[in-house]
Structure formats: C-alpha cells, structure tokens
C-alpha cells in the first residue's frame, strides 16, 4: 500500500509541505476542499519545483469535466480524480479527456514553458497521466467491473464515506465487511481483474490500515486540515500538562 495525503486548505505552501512529508501522492481536492482553478494552478506551479520526483500530484475535480481535466494536466498535474462516476460510459469520457488523439480528445496546450519546464511529448504524456475514477454509489458498485475494465482508466478509487451513506450503512460497518462479495473487496477484485490500481480514502491511520488490509494499493492516510488541527491540539495539550506539573 502506498500512503497518500489529501489537501483541502487551498494553500500551495501546505500542499508543498505534504509533498515533502514522505507520502507517495498528494491530491488537491477541488470538489470538497478550498481549491479553485487559480489556486490549483498556483499550487501545480509551486509543486513542479518543490515536490520530490517520485511524488504524484493529482487533482480531484469538482465534477467530470474535460475542460477542467485538460487545464490541470496542462499545468503539470500527474492525473485527475473524477468524482461520482456511475458507469463505463462516464469512465470512458474521463479517460478520453486525459489523453491526446487518437486515444482521446485532450487538446494540445501545455503550460510548462511558462515555468521554464520542458514540453512533454504527447505519447509520453499519455503514458504518464493517471485517470482515477471514483465509485461512490450503489449503481457504480454494481457496475464496478465494467468501470474498471474501461481502457484508459488507471485506478478505481472508493469514497467510503459517500459509499456507506448511499448503501445505508456506516463507515465502520463498510470497512468491517470483508467477505469477497462485500462492497470494498468487490472493488479490489474488479481492479485486480482489470490490471489496474485500487484506491480509497482513509483520512486517518486506522481506517487506512483497514483499507490496506482489504488490498487497496493507494490509500489517502492524512488530510492537511486534520493534521494541522490535531498537531496544534496535541502541542497545546502537552504544554498545558507541563504547566500543571
């Protein structure tokens, strides 16, 4: 399992700190986080010069959107995370938006020269980019095998909180369901059969461990806002305790 970090604060500096923390992936969350197009583009420019070369930087889009996809890939993102993908047709649209013709419909317009970067060859760009599609509903779960098999989809990523809500269960019960036909093992099996990665949002160490035990390859283990708040609270509590001694 490769641990990743989720960035919600809309801060390029915070995203750069996450990228240097030892994780293998940083996701800028423009769906539920504070990121907008301007801050995403600023962060990608910052991360080009500060992130270790083996750290992937992805953008979770607000929605399935070829224009957003092309924009962030042009700016240097290693891939996109597309929310609420319900079927193979939606997964196919997401995959095509990530690749240049003839494999897809991405328009040529890389921004690397603005930051003195090298323009990437289209074939190399197509091979490098990561198209990650999210499964978050009962309908998507029922079609997960077909979604995972779509050419150009590199990973199926589970949003376990949304999936639990939509299935009428709790997050804890979803993680504890480990039979082969249970939701999360079914996603992992579909990805294995298709030869692609299985990813999921953990958000903290213990859920991430449970997801790793289920076979997920890419797990978001930390969120910048949570790490900041918990770290400050722990430091304040430690100091308060020492004052009482």
Q: Which of 54, 19, 234 lies closest to 5, judged by CA?
A: 19
SS3 27: strand
219, β-bridge pairs: 3, 200
Active site residue 32: yes
**What's the token pair of residue 228?**
């900041």
Determine the Cα–Cα distance for residues 69 and 10; give it in Å rounded to an integer: 18
- Secondary structure of 29-88 as H, E, C letters: ECCCCCCCHHHHHHHHHHHHHHCCCCCEEEEECCCCCHHHHHHHHHCCCCEEEECCCCCH
The backbone region for 10, taken as left when phi is positive above 0, alpha when psi lies in -120 to 50, beta otherwise, is left
Catalytic residue among 32, 128, 151, 172: 32
> Which residues belong to the active site?
32
């Amino acid at each position: 399992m490769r641990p990743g970090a989720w960035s919600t604060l809309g801060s390029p500096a915070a995203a750069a700190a996450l990228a240097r923390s030892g994780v293998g992936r940083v996701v800028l969350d423009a769906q539920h986080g504070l990121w907008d197009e301007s801050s995403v583009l600023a962060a990608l420019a910052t991360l080009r010069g500060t992130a270790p070369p083996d750290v992937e930087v992805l953008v979770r889009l607000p929605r399935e959107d070829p224009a957003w996809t092309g924009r962030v890939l042009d700016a240097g993102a290693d891939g996109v995370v597309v929310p609420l993908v319900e079927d193979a047709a939606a997964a196919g649209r997401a995959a095509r938006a990530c690749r240049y013709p003839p494999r897809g419909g991405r328009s040529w317009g890389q921004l690397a020269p603005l930051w003195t970067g090298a323009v990437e060859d289209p074939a190399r760009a197509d091979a490098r980019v990561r198209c990650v599609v999210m499964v978050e509903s009962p309908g998507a779960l029922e079609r997960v095998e077909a979604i995972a098999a779509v050419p150009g989809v590199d990973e199926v990523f589970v949003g376990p909180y949304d999936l639990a809500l939509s299935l009428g269960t709790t997050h804890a019960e979803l993680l504890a369901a480990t039979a082969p036909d249970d939701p999360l093992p079914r996603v992992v099996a579909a990805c294995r059969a298709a030869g692609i990665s299985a990813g999921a949002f953990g958000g903290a160490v213990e859920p991430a461990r449970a997801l790793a035990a289920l076979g997920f390859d890419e797990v978001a283990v930390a969120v910048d806002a949570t790490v900041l708040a918990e770290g400050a609270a722990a430091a304040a509590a430690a100091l308060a305790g020492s004052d009482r001694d």
